[in-house]
Amino acid sequence: MESYDFVVIGSGSGLSVASVAANRDQSVAVVEKGPLGGTCLNRGCIPSKLLLYHADVLETVRRAEEFHLDVEVRDVDFGTIVREVTEEVAREAEAIRHGLRESPSHTLFEGEGHFVGERTVEITSGNDAGTRIKGENVLIAAGTRPAIPDIDGIDDVAFLTSTEALRLETPPEHLLIVGGGYIAAELAHFFGTFGSDVTVVGRRPHLLPEADAAVAELFTDRYADRFTVHTGHAVTAVVEDGEGAVTLTARPYAYSEDGVPGGIDDDADPVTATGDALLIAAGRRPNTDTLTLDAAGVAVDDAGFVETDDYLRTTADGVWALGDIVGEYLLKHSANHEARAVIRNLFGSERRPVDYTAMPFAVFASPEVAGVGARESDLAAADREYATSTYRYEDTARGNAMHAEGLVKVLVAPDGEILGTHIVGPDAAALIQEVVVAMKAGTGTVTDIRESVHVHPALPEVVQRAFAGRFTHAGHDHHD
């Protein structure tokens, strides 16, 4: 059995920790069963956002008539778009693989690994099958995979997950999407812009249930204008006709006022939809079930995510974990943040808890959505006093020039502390960043945003004006 100073399972954000270990002259082993670079590079953020930008450009061109521009899109080479993105991702993955193979400090084991003892991993596939390695420290960063819901007939139907959808070289004529979260929203925008009819079925009352309710409601209304949307419904059955057509059946699904699932209403009339492609985008599940974690003494929670303490240590000595498999935030920037925390706590002189303050999210759909901090429902459920202000894009000079629709919603405490900010509209992912900085690095108050000079007439004025507005809630006025 070979021994290493540091072993990492997974080649996403965990590679940052491995690089620091190697720079400290430690021997490093990397275990990866798929292409190098992890979910983000190969099946997630990078290919999806590269493709989505093409959709954004096409959508902009098609809106040219609004600005009295006579523009015609004569052709779309969809296959070339997808192939170029696929090839670029493959080159990046191969570059990482080549770098690890050439590194004198790294040993790459290309195959699936699982624990067979304390900090001991066995490679079970590939050329290294049967090899056992042990690490002085082991980092679990093996990510997640698409969750497949329990739907009658799902095993007998050809369906796509996001992995396969990102490689389709021909858009479906009619795409059925099961799920109403980030992935469903982004892929609906992509394929819908390139000509697919799209039907989206989600269990929650609105799409993007993790967003603030006001943003989720506006987003859902906009999507209902673009696509066929059935919110508040759960898909109960799917069937394929043998010629490639898939029909789904969905029934109303109830939630209580505080968001507790109530279940399917079997007595209500179902809705049906038929398409030539079915995309399952109903969340992610951790890859912990492939790792035999009990052999290493690593505990998981009820949802299967690795349990860690505030420093990202697992229940086993010398075993750490980060990224999606921890389940705190299933976001690449969160995984990178956690990697920096592990580096500090594993190699630094003083350990500090990982700080998730002001962790933002963004959805690169149309409209774009971003948020940071608490939602109004979170504050109401906690019986916390707060005030809110909203400002619309179209009420700014730049927003009006863009013919933009959208809003910025701000939530603050009575003392002016920023509790949360939520945006739906163009460039939401960029606009949220000044709020993140204020919450993380500044005093984190309304004044930080309101009194900072904003370029006029630039789009960030919509954020400033949301913070400069009159904050009201439940009869309380807030003046900061």
- Residue in the structure block whose two tokens are 């004006």: 465
Q: What angle do CA 379, 326, 183 make, to 5 degrees?
A: 70
281, two tokens: 């985008």
Nearest of 68, 39, 92, 105 to residue 331 by alpha carbon: 39
- Residues contacting 186, CB < 8 A, separation 6+: 48, 52, 363, 364, 365
DSSP 9-73: ESSSTHHHHHHHHHHTT--EEEEESSSTTHHHHHHSHHHHHHHHHHHHHHHHHHTGGGGT-----
Please state the φ and ψ torsions of residue 355, each to the nearest 5 degrees: -110, 110
DSSP 289-336: GGTTGGGGT--B-TTSPBP--TTSB-SSTTEEE-GGGG-S---HHHHH
CA–CA separation, 478 and 76 (whole Å): 52
Please confirm, yes or no, whether 456 is among the known catalytic residues: yes
CA–CA separation, 299 and 301 (whole Å): 7
CA–CA separation, 373 and 266 (whole Å): 37
**Terminal-residue alpha carbon distance, the chain:** 64
Side chain identity at residue 83, one-letter code: R
CA–CA separation, 186 and 48 (whole Å): 8
Nearest of 240, 234, 235 to residue 156 by alpha carbon: 240
Exposure of 60 in the CB half-sphere (CA atoms within 13 A): 8
Among candidate residues 98, 403, 456, 476, the one labeled active-site is 456
Exposure of 403 in the CB half-sphere (CA atoms within 13 A): 7
The answer to whether residues 175 and 153 touch, using CB atoms and an 8 Å cutoff, is no
The catalytic residues are: 456
